[in-house]
Amino acid sequence: MSTERISKEIDGSFAGNLDKIVIEQCFSFSAAFFALWRSLKMHGENNESVKHSMRNLFIIMKKLFSDEKTIRFSYNGTDLLVNDQRLKSRKTGEDYLESLRKFFNSISVGELTIPIDVTPSDFILFFRAVETASRNKDNVFDNIDGYLKTNSSNLSVKMFVESQNEKPSVIDPAQMAREIYRNLCEKFKELSKKAKTDQPLPLKTATRMIQSLVNLMIDQNSRQKDHLLTLASLNSYRNDTVSTHSANVTILSLAMAIELGVRKKDLVTVGLCAYLHDIAIDDPLNEGSAYHTELGFSYLSRLNSLNFSMMEAALISATHHDVYDFNGFKAISGQKQETTPYSEIVMVCDLYDIMTRWWPGSQKIPSTRPGALHEILSGVKNGAFDQTHTSRALFSVLGMYPHGTVCKILKQPYLGLVIGRFLSNYEPAEVAFLNEKMEFCKVEKVLPSHIKPLPSKECFRIPPHTWQAVFEHFQNR
């Protein structure tokens, strides 16, 4: 696979169209919510106009509930958001958005949570609570909250609190990085379960997560690349090995695709392919996992055989273990391997994460991270991959000592955990210093010559509380 082929124009409209559909649904929901509020104010509860507005609102919510079990309609002091999708007034002019901002601000509500079992009566109760509470300017939010709880409404509200002399709090990039990683891990199980039971996959949800990850990774001002790559070195988030592996491969694949110059509009496709490549694995200890490539192809190919993103994901799911398995490289037959434009990216990242993790059921000690990179580059010489540029791109992304490498700090009584990128022998990078109990002590920039990676037989597992302290460093820097 050549560099020209990697940069070849590919139709990326699928992911873009999904994103546009979600945005339009969110705008439609807010417009329908406003129309119901206005109808109730003008006509009261028993009116055909109110009934029509209510029916329209529930039709739109049904579409949103196909991906989420709740709808979160929130206000952060500046913008309205529906399920974290920001609603920004467009040139066509949505005056109702400004009216809704004033509405939320007047009742001090920061979030209205709407569950899937909501009824028309719940909305009537909510607006009745607003009308009753607004007559008394004191404790408006408390009165609304109390009214809803007293009447056992399915709707719930959270209070909006704005700090004095400060702009409204907005999630910062470090928090966003961890939230995206957490969502990738938690949503993967749901996707896998739906695929196995022939249910429609919530691809819009997956696409939104990948798009948010892409935006964060290409934002030079966010400085979250090292943070995300350190997250991608985790062995198991909440003891879920497969979901963690999927999230790690997604981050590594996107970082590698960016390094190779894949266009922004095609990055979401790369991310989806990486995220779904192991969708057929349920339990890595299950014997059926040995056939997960065939099952993955079956699950993904039936979604939409004419859709490029899903065709690519299905092919990658089917072929990503052709030259390696959970124990490393297979014997190479000498026959040239067939690849798709993005399959090499996902395969190299998948192999790297497999080689460097404690995999359930495997007695093999994980490779050191520098050792895994060396073995992958050696695999190119043996014919495991068509070209060297994908493996070299992974080296460029991770550096000499990849994120998550456990090392000895020379001439100091510390172990180290690499959390920065060593680009050369002459440039320092960040290393978290750990004491003899593997507890976090501090972060310093050191030169590569001042550390020595531990051998694989001394491969340590980093305790959860140490990881937490490391990620707090990214938050505070």
Strands 324-325 and 156-159 come out as: unpaired
What mean pLDDT comes out for the span 425-437? 94
Nearest alpha carbon to residue 114 among 66, 60, 51, 156:
156
What pLDDT score was predicted for residue 4? 44
What pLDDT score was predicted for residue 169? 41
Q: Which of 101, 133, 159 is the last residue of a domain?
A: 159
What mean pLDDT comes out for the span 373-377? 86
Is the domain of 139 the same as that of 247? Answer: no
Q: How far is CA 68 from CA 31, 37, 207, 264, 347, in A?
A: 19, 23, 13, 27, 31
Cα dihedral: 125, 128, 130, 134 (round 10): -150
What pLDDT score was predicted for residue 296? 84
Is the domain of 87 the same as that of 233? Answer: no
Nearest alpha carbon to residue 129 among 149, 101, 110:
149
Per the domain annotation, does 2 fall within a domain?
A: no
What pLDDT score was predicted for residue 446? 96
Mean pLDDT, the chain, rounded, equals 82
Q: What is the pLDDT of residues 169-194, one digit of tens each?
A: 446 788 889 989 999 998 998 888 88
Per the domain annotation, does 460 fall within a domain?
A: yes
Is the domain of 347 the same as that of 454? Answer: no
Per the domain annotation, does 292 fall within a domain?
A: yes
Q: Residue 209: which CATH number? A: 1.10.3210.10
Is the domain of 417 the same as that of 392? Answer: no
Per the domain annotation, does 118 fall within a domain?
A: yes
Is the domain of 373 the same as that of 409? Answer: no
Q: What is the pLDDT of residues 57-93, one digit of tens each?
A: 999 999 888 878 889 998 887 788 888 888 876 545 5
Helix, strand, coil % in the chain, rounded to nearest 5: 55, 10, 35
**How many distinct helices (H) and strands (E) make up the chain?**
17, 12
Is the domain of 394 the same as that of 405? Answer: no
Cβ count within 10 A of residue 413: 9
Is the domain of 233 the same as that of 336? Answer: yes
Is the domain of 141 the same as that of 196? Answer: no
Is the domain of 31 the same as that of 155? Answer: yes
Per the domain annotation, does 112 fall within a domain?
A: yes
Q: Are 353 and 369 in contact (CB under 8 A)?
A: no
- In the chain, the number of structural domains is 3
Q: Residue 424: which CATH number? A: 2.30.30
> Rounded distance, CA 224 to CA 389, Å?
25
Per the domain annotation, does 426 fall within a domain?
A: yes
Per the domain annotation, does 8 fall within a domain?
A: no
The answer to whether the Cα torsion of 128, 134, 135, 141 is positive or negative is positive
Q: Which of 113, 128, 159 is the last residue of a domain?
A: 159
Q: Are 470 and 417 in contact (CB under 8 A)?
A: yes
Per the domain annotation, does 189 fall within a domain?
A: yes
Asked if pLDDT for residue 250 goes beyond 90, the answer is yes
* Three state DSSP letters for 135-158: CCCCCHHHHHHHHHHHCCCCCEEE
Which of the 8 DSSP states describes residue 199? P
Is the domain of 418 the same as that of 476? Answer: yes
Per DSSP, the residues of 378-396 read: HHHHTTSSS-SHHHHHHHH
What mean pLDDT comes out for the span 131-149? 84
* Amino acid present at 202: P
Q: Where are the beta strands (DSSP E) in 91-216?
A: 109-115, 156-159
Cβ count within 10 A of residue 62: 10
Q: What is the pLDDT of residues 329-372, one digit of tens each?
A: 554 444 555 666 688 899 899 989 988 988 777 777 888 999 99
More confident residue, 262 or 327: 262
Q: Which helix (H) or strand (E) holds 377?
A: helix 369-381
Is the domain of 305 the same as that of 407? Answer: no
Is the domain of 195 the same as that of 336? Answer: yes
Nearest alpha carbon to residue 463 among 273, 286, 234:
234
Structural domain harbouring 329: 173-398
Cβ count within 10 A of residue 333: 9
Q: Which of 105, 137, 159 is the last residue of a domain?
A: 159
Name the token pair of 52. 């029509």
Which of the 8 DSSP states describes residue 413? S
* Residue showing tokens 């190299």: 348
Q: Report residue 13 CA to chain centroid gap.
A: 20
Contacts of 290 (CB under 8 A, 6+ apart): none
Asked if pLDDT for residue 26 goes beyond 60, the answer is yes
Which pLDDT band, with edges at 50, 70 and 90, does 233 fall under? Answer: very high
Q: Are 358 and 244 in contact (CB under 8 A)?
A: no
Determine the Cα angle at 320 with ends 317 and 325, to 5°. 125
